[in-house]
C-alpha cells in the first residue's frame, strides 16, 4: 500500500453517505468503482456489471479473481467481499480510522443508502465478510 493510500481517512469518504442506492443505476459496485477513482486514483475495470441484485451477485462471485487479489487482512482502499441475505454477494470499501480500526463504506440498499460504519457492525445488517481483496 502506498503512503498516499495510508493517509486516506474517514473524513475523506464521509461525503459519499449523501449518495443514494438506486436500483438499476447506483449500487455497491458503482460506489466501489467511484471511490477507487475519486479517492484512490485507480481506474477499476469491471468485466461485467449487470443490474439487479441477483445478477450482481453472480457477477461479483464470477469476476472477483479477474479484478482483485486476495488479502490476508483488511487495509485502506481494499474491498470487503461479503455475503448478505439469501447468500447474495455485496462489496464495500475499507477505510481505517485514526486508531487503525477498519470501517466500511458501502451502498447497502434503497432504504439505507450509502453507509459508513465500523466493519465489526456489518453483521447487524445481515452481512458476513467472506474475504478482503485488493483491486488489480
Q: What are the residue ranges spanned by the domains of the chain?
A: 3-135
% of the chain beyond a pLDDT of 70? 83
User: Of 28 and 120, which is predicted with more confidence?
Assistant: 120
How sure is the predictor about 67, in pLDDT bands with cuts at 50, 70 and 90?
A: confident
Tens of pLDDT, residue by residue over 83-126, are 887 778 888 999 999 899 999 999 998 899 999 999 999 999 99
* pTM reported for the whole predicted model: 0.86
Q: How far apart are CA 83 and CA 80, in angstroms?
A: 10
How sure is the predictor about 6, in pLDDT bands with cuts at 50, 70 and 90?
A: low
Least confident of 15-19, 54-58, 79-83, 109-113: 54-58
Q: Classify burial at 65, counting beta carbons within 10 Å of its beta carbon; exposed 0-12, middle 13-18, buried 19 or more.
A: exposed
DSSP code for 13: T
Record the cell numbers describing residue 59, joined without a space: 457477477
Tens of pLDDT, residue by residue over 31-50, are 998 999 999 999 987 766 65
Record the cell numbers describing residue 4, joined without a space: 498516499
For residues 131 and 79, is the Cβ–Cβ distance under 8 A?
no
Q: Does domain 3-135 have CATH number 1.25.40.20?
A: no
Amino acid at each position: 500500500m502506498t503512503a498516499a493510500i495510508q493517509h486516506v481517512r474517514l473524513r475523506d469518504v464521509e461525503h459519499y453517505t449523501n449518495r443514494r442506492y438506486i436500483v438499476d443505476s447506483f449500487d455497491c459496485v458503482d460506489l466501489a468503482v467511484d471511490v477507487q477513482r475519486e479517492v484512490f486514483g485507480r481506474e477499476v475495470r469491471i468485466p461485467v456489471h449487470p443490474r439487479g441484485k441477483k445478477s450482481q451477485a453472480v457477477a461479483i462471485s464470477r469476476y472477483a479473481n479477474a479484478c482483485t487479489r486476495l488479502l490476508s487482512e483488511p487495509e485502506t482502499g481494499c474491498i470487503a467481499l461479503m455475503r448478505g441475505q439469501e447468500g447474495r454477494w455485496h462489496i464495500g470499501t475499507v477505510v481505517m480510522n485514526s486508531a487503525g480500526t477498519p470501517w466500511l463504506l458501502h451502498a447497502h440498499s434503497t432504504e439505507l443508502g450509502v453507509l459508513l460504519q465500523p466493519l465489526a457492525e456489518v453483521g447487524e445488517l445481515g452481512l458476513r465478510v467472506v474475504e478482503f481483496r485488493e483491486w488489480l
